[in-house]
Amino acid sequence: MKHLTIIVPDGENNLSSIVGTYKIFTRANAYWKEKSGKELFRIELAGVSKEIDFHEGLFTVRPHTHITAIAKTSLVIIPSLNHNFQSAVKENKLVIEWIEKQYKQGAEIASICTGAFMLASSGLLDGKSCSTHWAVADTFRAMFPKVNLQTDKLITDENGIYTNGGAYSFLNLVIYLVEKYYDRQTAIFCSKVFQIELDRQSQSEFTIFTGQKLHGDDMVQKAQAYIESKLEEKISVEALSSQFAVGRRNFDRRFIKATGNTPGEYAQRVKIESAKKAFETSRKTINEVMYDVGYSDVKAFREVFRKITGMSPLEYRSKYNKNALA
C-alpha cells in the first residue's frame, strides 16, 4: 500500500486545503476499494505539534502522527499558508528538511497555493516550474529568484513535483493527482461527487495584473508608470528606451530582470487588464473597449486577449457581466 502524507504545518495556514485534500483522497480510496478490494493509500496527517489551532482557536486539527515517525512516504501534500511566509518557513524548518529528504528517497511532492513558499524553501523547486496564487507572485519571485514561476498555469507537473495556483483551485490539483495515482474513472467519480471541473489547466482568467513593482529599479518603475498612463496609445519600445536615454538592448534587459516581462508583454498585460475591467463593469462594445486600450485590429486584440486570459473578449464579457447581456 502507498502512503500519503498531508502536512499540517505549525503557524497560520489554511484549513480548507487540508480538509478538502483529506476528504477527496478518502473518497477516492473508498471507491478504489469497491472496485479492487483494497485501498490504494494509507492517508495520514502529520506535523510537529500535537494540536494546531485555526481561525483564532475556532477549529483545531490533531495530526495522526509526528512527521519524524514517517520514515518513508509516497506522496506529500503541503497545504496553503496564510500570508506571513517568512515566519511560516522559520517555524517549519524540521518539516521542510523532512520534505527534502522524502523527495530524495523517491516521494513525490505537491504544494497547494502558497504552500509553494515552503516547498521552494527546501531548494527542490530551483530551476523548475512552479505556480502559486497570482496575488503573491511578486513576493515569491523576490524570495526565490531561481524558481521558474508561471502564475498563468493552474497546475505544474515536473520531476515528481506538483504545484498549483490559488485558493480553491487546489481542488483541481487534487483531482489531477487522483487521476495520476488511481485512474481516470476514479477522477471522474470524484469530480462528480465533489462537483469539481475536470481538466482545468489555467488560472489566467482569475488573475488581476498589477505589475511587479518591488524591484527597486527607478528607471523601470518610471517606464512602467508611463506605459500604464498611455493605455490608448501604441507604445514604441524604441521611443520609450530613448526617452530614458538607455540603449534598447540594455532597456529590455533591465525591464525583464525587474518585472519578469518584456516591455511589449508588459504593455499588453496592462492593456488587457484594463479591457477586462471595462468588460466587467460597463456596457461598452468589444470594439469600443478595444479602441480604449490602443488596439485598432479586432483579430490582433482577440488573439492577445485570449493568450492572456484563456478566453475570447465576448466569452469573458458574457461570463463576468450579466448586465451587458440585458
- Per residue, the 3-state secondary structure of 153-221, as one string, reads ECEEEECCEEEECCHHHHHHHHHHHHHHHCCHHHHHHHHHHHCCCCCCCECHHHCCCCCCCCCCCHHHH
Give the confidence band of 270 by pLDDT, cuts at 50, 70, 90: very high
What confidence score (pLDDT) does residue 238 get? 92
What confidence score (pLDDT) does residue 70 get? 98
What confidence score (pLDDT) does residue 312 get? 95
For residues 156 and 304, membership in a common domain is answered with no
| Residue 38 CB coordination number (10 Å) | 9
Q: 155, 179, 204 — which closes off a domain?
A: 204
Please check whether residue 193 lies inside any domain of the structure. Answer: yes
For residues 134 and 230, membership in a common domain is answered with no
For 102, the domain range is: 2-204
What confidence score (pLDDT) does residue 223 get? 93
* pTM of the predicted model over 0.85: no
Mean predicted confidence (pLDDT) in 64-82: 96
Angle (CA) 147-149-150 rounded to 5° is 150
For residues 233 and 187, membership in a common domain is answered with no
Residue whose C-alpha cell reads 483522497 in the numeric block: 25
